Amino acid sequence: MSLLHLNGDNFKSEVEDSDVPVLVDFYADWCGPCRMIAPVIEKLAAKYTGKVKVAKLDVDNASDLAQRFDVSGIPTVILFKGGKPVDRFSGALPENAIDDFISRNS
């Protein structure tokens, strides 16, 4: 499964109504640290196919969702279970730390 791209139209169906955990990377194209973790997020999307949905949400195009989940800095990554946020981190973490975060919370 490739990365899912979220927006205001599909957030409810893909995240809030999902029966599997969803990792959402809140990012912006102009953000350097966001670009640093993008390949890691893509790699982990492949690793967790079928177990965890991995998605990206551009905060410039969905600022209402960023505000709703108190995203004040990017990248912010939030793991949702049962449609609710259960854990988060901000900043560009190394691949093993992001992998551990997913494993611990999913």
State the residue for tokens 């990365």. Answer: 3
- Sign of the dihedral defined by the CA atoms of residues 60, 61, 66, 68, in that order: positive
pLDDT digits (tens, 9 = 90+) for 2-48: 789 999 999 999 999 999 999 999 999 999 999 999 999 999 999 99
Q: Rounded to an integer, what distance in angstroms lies between the CA atom of residue 36 and that of residue 21?
A: 23
Over its C-alpha atoms, the chain yields an Rg (Å, rounded) of 12
pLDDT digits (tens, 9 = 90+) for 41-86: 999 999 999 999 999 999 999 999 999 999 999 999 999 999 999 9
The pLDDT of residue 95: 96
Active-site residues, by number, are: 31, 34
The pLDDT of residue 61: 95
Length of the chain equals 106
Q: Rounded to an integer, what distance in angstroms lies between the CA atom of residue 12 and that of residue 7?
A: 9
State the residue for tokens 């809030």. Answer: 16
Q: Which of 80, 106, 59, 60 is nearest to 13 (CA)?
A: 80
> Band of the pLDDT at 1, cuts 50, 70, 90?
low
Top-confidence residue, 89 or 3: 89
CATH number for 4-105: choose from 1.10.3720.10, 3.40.30.10, 3.40.190.10, 3.30.70.141: 3.40.30.10
pTM of the entire predicted model: 0.96
